[in-house]
Structure 1
Amino acid sequence: MALARGFPDPVHDSQGVFRTVMDAFARPCLLRSLVSDLTPPAPLTPELAAIVLTLADADTPLWLDASLSRVPEIAEFLRFHTGAPIVAAPAGAAFALIADPRCCPPFRDFAQGTPDYPDASATLVLAVDRLSGEGGLGFEGPGIRGRAHLDAAPLPADWAERLQSNHAGFPQGVDLLFVAPGLVAGLPRSARLLMMAEA
């Protein structure tokens, strides 16, 4: 089977995706357009592929969830186009690619950073079926004007509790990127989940 191609114009394509991802983290919960014509092996989505081809290199270990790791062509695609090592344990990853968010491991299984080096934590990139800035959970924090909402599915049943614990450990904790067809939204650990009465 032929290896799926990467970006047609690696420099400019990756620059565009990088700006989009940085904007997504700078303005949490605000949906950004992420259009990709990549055709990676399924179930790696074009949006997941675009982000990892932009952010990963030989110094950024990747962890793949079970749905991705069981397809050898995905690891081959990622190694060829990024040079990034693929690790077996979530704790060793700089980026975690999650195509089935319902089975996302607990956040504590991923690198949390340290008090001196909080940036040595993991970023989780989750491919969801639905992504909206209306309804769902409410958040406040840096980069959010007043309050913002983010609705994504599917996610684990204990998602709200995970987010509360993740923010409580700030500045340590993981950062989250959600991708859906044509869309991306960021949720850094600095975002505080609002209780139902506040939202």
Structure 2
Amino acid sequence: MRATAALSGGFQAPVHDSQAVFRTIMNALARPGTVHDLTPRAKPPATLSAEAGAVALALLDHETPVWCDQALAAAPAVADWLRFNTGAPIVAAPEEAEFAFVADPLRMPPLSSFAQGTADYPDRSTTLVVAVETLDARTGADIRGADLRGPGIATTARLAPHPLPHAFWDQARANHARFPRGVDLLFTAPGRIAGLPRSTRILAPEA
């Protein structure tokens, strides 16, 4: 069963599907805080969401070390699927990863735990792909969000991924303060994606 899961569920039209997902990812990062439709086009093993799996297929290759959170690491078929479909090596420590996949955002490590890049090579940092349930606050009054400003945002934008750790927005503000170092984030939800690059300033986290 595990071997079968690893060999199936990739893009049906690899070139076309990868390009389509890649364009959506780039648009999400270029316009922080805006929510974009994302057709998954992939069927990874359970625990790794279809949207996160599509991001993996579009961005990973044999030179991009990947870290999986505890929820994903507990499902060996996920690592098998990533290795088979992308060739990406799986690493044990967050700071070793170029990409990190998080299926349980409430228990994800602090953003400072991941590779931050250096002054000379700020691109040597981690991009986090965080699977959440929703990407806006309209679905519940208990959902915390933040107003955003920066490159790609005309005035301000609002983003409210849910669920996230209570201290997340404080971490995101500290992450921006390290710019040009720091991590970039992609949030996926069913059929949707949003970006939060390190260049984005966090204005007003809600109480």
Normalization by structure 1: what TM-score?
0.96
Question: Is contact 2:145-2:205 (8 Å) kept?
Answer: no
The answer for unaligned runs of 5 or more in structure 1 is none
Question: Is contact 2:12-2:41 (8 Å) kept?
Answer: no
Deviation at 1:195, TM superposition (A): 2.8
Aligned equivalent of 2:49, options 21, 45, 65? 45
How many residues are aligned here? 197
Aligned equivalent of 1:61, options 44, 61, 65? 65
- 1:91 aligned residue: 95
**Structure 1 position 183 matched with structure 2 position 192:** yes
- 1:123 aligned residue: 127
- 2:173 aligned residue: 164
**Structure 1 position 35 matched with structure 2 position 46:** no
- 1:5 aligned residue: 9
- 2:86 aligned residue: 82
The answer for unaligned runs of 5 or more in structure 2 is 139-143
Question: Is contact 1:112-1:118 (8 Å) kept?
Answer: yes
Deviation at 1:68, TM superposition (A): 0.2
Q: Which moved more, 1:30-39 or 1:151-160?
A: 30-39
1:114-166 Cα offsets, whole Å, 9 max, x none, are: 01110111000000001127782101000001000001111001011101100
Counterpart code for 2:91: V
**For 1:37 and 1:95, how far apart are their aligned partners in 2?**
20
Q: Aligned to 1:130, what secondary structure does the other structure show?
A: coil
- 1:132 aligned residue: 136
Write 1 or 2 for the structure with the bigger share of strand.
Answer: 1
Q: Aligned to 2:23, what secondary structure does the other structure show?
A: helix
Percent identity between matched residues is 52
**For 2:186 and 2:145, how far apart are their aligned partners in 1?**
16
CA RMSD of aligned residues (A): 1.4
Normalization by structure 2: what TM-score?
0.92
Counterpart code for 1:96: A
Give the 3 Å change call, closer, same or farther, for CA 196–159 of structure 1 in structure 2: closer
Question: Is contact 1:133-1:148 (8 Å) kept?
Answer: no
**For 1:12 and 1:133, how far apart are their aligned partners in 2?**
33
